[in-house]
Each structure stands twice: as C-alpha cells, then as structure tokens.
Amino acid sequence: MNLATTAALFVATALMEITGCFLPALWLQGRAGAWVLLPAAAALAAFVWLLTLHPAASGRVYAAYGGVYVATAVVWLWLVDGVRPSAWDLAGSAIALTGMAVIAWGWQRG
C-alpha cells in the first residue's frame, strides 16, 4: 500500500471516528434526537474496521493515524463547526502529518 493510499484510508478512518463521536455529542447537547446514536455506532464500527486494513503492526498504525486524525479534526473544525483554523492549528496539523508520513514511510520501507 503506497503512502497516498495509506493517507486516504486514514482520512476515511478519521471521518468515521469523528462522526461516531460528534453525533452522540449532538444528542447529549439536545441538538439531535436519539436516532443519531445508530449512525454513530455504525461509524465507530467502520472506524475500527478501517484501522484493520493496514498491513503494519497495530501500534504503528495507531501512531501514524494520530497525525491524520489531528489534521482531519482541524478541517472538521472549519467545515462543520464553522470555526476558521488559526495559524497554530495549521502548524500543528502540518507537524502531525509530518510525523505520520515518517512513520508510514518507514513501515513501507522495511
């Protein structure tokens, strides 16, 4: 699996995790009905399944995924929450993605 495919899979994984946590938060805040718990559970199940699709050891997958999660959460902040990311948000995302790339590139090399 190349780095671009790995990154795309991580983005899909992050979207499932964020969705699976965001929907129950809406319900707990009284902004959505209890029905959102069903798609939330499905999203979290998809999140777990997507993490299993990587050929690397689970610890490496989780470590690399964390970097993509950070960047995806910042995009979510902007697109869903309507909050424009700060320069600090963007710098932190870049640093996290650099860490992800180093880890994923390394597992693919050896």
pLDDT at 46 over 80: yes
- Residue 100's pLDDT band, with cuts at 50, 70 and 90, is confident
Q: Which pLDDT value is given to residue 4? A: 83
Q: What is the pLDDT of residues 26-42, one digit of tens each?
A: 999 999 999 999 999 99
Higher pLDDT, 13 or 1: 13
Number of neighbouring beta carbons within 10 Å of residue 103: 21
Q: Is the confidence at residue 110, as pLDDT, over 70?
A: no
How confident is the model over 60-92, as pLDDT tens digits? Answer: 888 889 999 999 999 999 999 999 999 999 999
pLDDT band with cut points at 50, 70 and 90 for residue 22? very high
The pairs formed by 53-62 with CB atoms below 8 angstroms and a separation of 24 or more are: 53/9, 54/1, 54/6, 54/9, 55/1, 56/104, 56/107, 57/107, 60/103, 60/104, 60/107
How far does Cα 9 stand from its chain's mean position? 9
User: Helices 87-109 and 3-28 meet at what angle, rounded to 10?
Assistant: 130
| Dihedral class, residue 35 (left if φ above 0, else alpha if ψ from -120 to 50, else beta) | alpha
The residue range of the domain holding 58 is 3-109
State the total domains in the chain. Answer: 1
